[in-house]
Amino acid sequence: MSEDLRLLAIEAARRGAAVCLQRFGAAVAVATKGADGDVVTAVDRAAEQTVREVLLAARPDDGVLGEELPEHVGAGSVQWVVDPLDGTTNYTRRLPFFGTSVAARSVADGSWLAGAVCAPVLGTTWSAAKGLGAHVDSGAGETRLPLVLAESSVRLLGTGLSYDPGHRRRQLRELAAVMAGYTDMRRFGAAALDLCLVAQGSLDAFVEDDLAVHDWAAGALIAEEAGAVVSRAEGAGVSARRR
């Protein structure tokens, strides 16, 4: 079952990402939905609608919890968690680090079953199924994760900052301690992609303590299935560290 869910997650993520790519670089109206910097566009909503249609066409009894549209409560055994445009700020500033994230979890016990993240400008899709490992596809077929990368003394930490000014000040005060053991950091602005980069081995860790479940749902499973140690706190954040 998990492999079937992974394939459906890939299809839905790619379809949603295609909607985002169609408007990338075009003028789009941007609205603030919470704190300054927390923005949304009509593209976010259109991509989520497309993802939802793909999922429910294949599995009409499932539930769907998305970032932008009202929750669809299903009677089936699976709930899908969707971030239609992770990295909306990047998207509006024509930065290529954004994507569509789709994950499936068990209604019975909350376990994560499958997930996919598609970054359309990068031409890359990462995916995983519970107990079956993680993969990346950059257009030449799937490669199992983690990748074999050059050995070096580099230790890279990925992180992000809260939209809330007070929370952000605390994160900055604590950054030196968080950086202990790492030689540098990267801030790509899309948690789903950051977690997939941990899965690849491109980042050694990713830590962010102010995220919603849709931000990390698929990426955390992909990192975990690629061998990272993952800690999830729904409504708070996530950490993923390579062993």
- Residue 153's CB: how many other CB atoms inside 10 A? 5
∠ Cα 64 69 73 (to 5°): 35
Cα(first)–Cα(last) distance of the chain, in Å? Answer: 28
Going by C-beta distance under 8 Å and a sequence separation of 6 or more, which residues neighbour residue 69? 45, 48, 49, 52
184 is in an annotated binding site: no
Pairing of strands 142-144, 134-137: antiparallel
The encoded tokens of residue 21 equal 């790519």
Phi, psi of 140 (to 5 degrees): -115, 20
83 is in an annotated binding site: yes
Bridge partners, 79 (sequence order) = 63, 105
The encoded tokens of residue 242 equal 């390579």
Greatest Cα pair distance in the chain: 50
Rounded Cα distance between 230 and 130, Å, is 14
The encoded tokens of residue 108 equal 């019975």
The encoded tokens of residue 143 equal 């490669």
- Residue 37's CB: how many other CB atoms inside 10 A? 13
85 is in an annotated binding site: yes
Bridge partners, 143 (sequence order) = 136
Rounded Cα distance between 135 and 37, Å, is 32
User: Which residues carry a binding-site annotation for Mg(2+)?
Assistant: 67, 83, 85-86, 215
User: Which residues carry a binding-site annotation?
Assistant: 67, 83, 85-86, 215
